[in-house]
Structure 1
């Protein structure tokens, strides 16, 4: 019985998979490079800012 997919189409599948994975990796790395300066600046601002104490509201007994 003949296979449903021709043999030459099977040969293209690994190369297509490799192309998709390569594009995904490039997008992932470019997003990382794009966000690094902002993340570093945010980290520096957090280190420079004094720690603020959260405002606490006194609990009232409503009985």
Structure 2
């Protein structure tokens, strides 16, 4: 998470506390993080062309 935060892909939204559980930090994708995720999802995975005939 720290690397994603440093790269500007996620940002902290809030810190949630529950009496019976440890504190947790809720994060969300930034616009830059969403763009990076979209680009990554468009890339074919290694070996996709052999597993999925017709894959671009």
TM-score between the two structures when normalised by the length of structure 1:
0.29
Higher RCO (C-alpha under 8 Å, 6+ residues apart): 2
- Structure with higher Rg: it is 1
Which structure features the higher share of strand residues? Answer: 2
TM-score between the two structures when normalised by the length of structure 2:
0.31
